[in-house]
């Protein structure tokens, strides 16, 4: 069982609240996207200060450190995808295997202090990018390698759910 939620069928994120974390797509606005991005990432970053942040609560659940490294990378990947969507017509995103990245990048072995700084930077850059989206660009498309189509707006809602879901993961 993957430690990261299945992202193959992502469209439900746009249609209904998440039963696990309570994220409700109906509450997301373009104006709130940057602030909510920073708030979710900030909570995850703060959780890195816990004494047991690098310890998994059980064998099938990531540690706070692993979640924080993942959230950092979500911010980076979504920022890259957003830039592609704003610069190119209907770009295809490079594939990103979240589970493979966690293993290859050794999330569990990273330095929490370094991850905290990198997470803050990545979230700040993503929030700034959301603030700078031109009004007429929110419907610009982009595609995953599996053919799933996003718009700038649906990418924003999807990314925010990921961040807020992991905030829930580290605070429960």
Mean pLDDT by 10 residues, the chain (172 residues): 44 85 95 98 96 94 96 97 97 91 95 97 98 98 90 96 96 88
Which domain does 81 fall in, by range?
A: 28-171
Q: Measured between alpha carbons, how far is 67 from 80 in angstroms, rounded to an integer? A: 20
Q: What is the reported pTM?
A: 0.92
- Domain for residue 163, yes or no? yes
- State the SS3 of the chain: CCCCCCCCCCCHHHHCCCCCCCCCHHHCCCCCHHHHHHHHHHHHHHHCCCCCCCCCCECCECCHHHHHHHHHHHHHHHHHHHHHHHHCCCCECCCCCHHHHHHHCCHHHCCHHHHHHHHHHHHHHHHHHHHCCCHHHCCCEEECCCCCEEEHHHHHHHHHHHHHHHHHHHHC
pLDDT at position 29: 96
- Domain for residue 38, yes or no? yes
- Domain for residue 8, yes or no? no
CB 48 within 8 A of CB 95: no
- Domain for residue 15, yes or no? no
Q: How far is CA 49 from the centre of its chain?
A: 20
Q: How far is CA 13 from the centre of its chain?
A: 13
- Domain for residue 7, yes or no? no
pLDDT at position 15: 84
- Domain for residue 78, yes or no? yes
User: CATH number of the domain that 130 lies in?
Assistant: 1.20.120.450
pLDDT at position 146: 84
- Domain for residue 5, yes or no? no
- Domain for residue 23, yes or no? no
């Amino acid at each position: 069982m993957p430690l990261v939620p299945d992202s193959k069928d992502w469209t439900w994120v746009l249609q209904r609240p998440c039963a696990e974390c309570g994220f409700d797509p109906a509450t997301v606005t373009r104006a709130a996207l940057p602030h909510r991005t920073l708030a979710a990432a900030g909570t995850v970053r703060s959780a890195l200060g816990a004494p047991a942040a690098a310890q998994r609560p059980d064998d099938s659940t990531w540690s706070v450190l692993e979640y924080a490294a993942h959230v950092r990378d979500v911010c980076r990947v979504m920022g890259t995808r957003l830039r592609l969507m704003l610069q190119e017509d209907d770009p295809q995103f490079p594939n990103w295997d979240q589970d493979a990245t966690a293993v290859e990048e050794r999330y569990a072995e990273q330095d929490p202090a370094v991850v905290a700084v990198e997470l803050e930077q990545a979230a700040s850059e993503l929030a700034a990018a959301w603030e700078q989206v031109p009004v007429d660009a929110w419907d610009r498309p982009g595609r995953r390698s599996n053919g799933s189509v996003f718009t700038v707006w649906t990418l924003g809602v999807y990314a925010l759910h990921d961040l807020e879901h992991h905030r829930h993961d580290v605070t429960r």
